[in-house]
Amino acid sequence: MQKAEALKIFLEKDVKERSRIFLLSSLDELKIELRQKKIEAFVNDFLILLNECEKSGESVRYIQLSLVRSKALSNKPFYILEGYGSLFYLSQPIAVHELSLDWFYEKFNEFCEAVKKDSKKYILKIGGMELDRIILAELINCNRLLKYLLEESLVHIINLEEFTKLKLSEGIQIQIGEYRGPFETIMVTNEYTNNLGRWWNGIL
């Protein structure tokens, strides 16, 4: 069997199934009976970041959930929260906090280990470079899951007392992206939209 053929079979037979298992098991953690605790822990990470930003005395304009690809290849926690001022990437972050996602990292590491174990069946066909590319490709599913968790948590985040203390008149942007790389804006809020959201949710 040629290397290219072995890789194709490996991707179709083994990796695809491992990816499915990872996705489904992660979604199981976000079912209604478990989701609230996950959301509470996630919102608490934002609370910690906001407190750190407040201590700095600087004005926050961007809050980003950032993926650090290099850490994903090293079995280290690979999502961080960053708070930026008006200069965004042109400046250093005001505060950085590592997301507490032990349940999620555990499942991702299980995926990585399973894929590495499966690759051994293809003797001398699947190397470290191919495995790294497969692991990095799976980060697409990771981002989808984290985006879902962020969207589910937004109403709780913007209603934190620490969030309402920010200079909402200048506008705050919440986004998900890669460390110092491309990002997707999830929400832009200002004084008006924040008050509207709090009214809608029965807080005002």
Q: Please provide residue 120's backbone torsions phi and psi, each rounded to the nearest 5 degrees.
A: -65, -20
pLDDT at 152: 92
The chain-wide mean pLDDT, for the chain, equals 89
Question: What region, left, alpha or beta, does residue 193 occupy, with left being phi > 0 and alpha being psi -120 to 50 degrees?
Answer: alpha
Range of the domain at 148: 3-201
The count of domains in the chain is 1
Residue 111: pLDDT band with limits 50, 70, 90 = very high
What Å distances lie between residue 136 and 2, 139, 142, CA to CA? 24, 5, 10
Asked if the model's pLDDT at residue 34 lies above 50, the reply is yes
Closest CA to 189 of 10, 50, 62, 20: 62
Asked if the model's pLDDT at residue 203 lies above 50, the reply is no
Asked if the model's pLDDT at residue 200 lies above 50, the reply is no
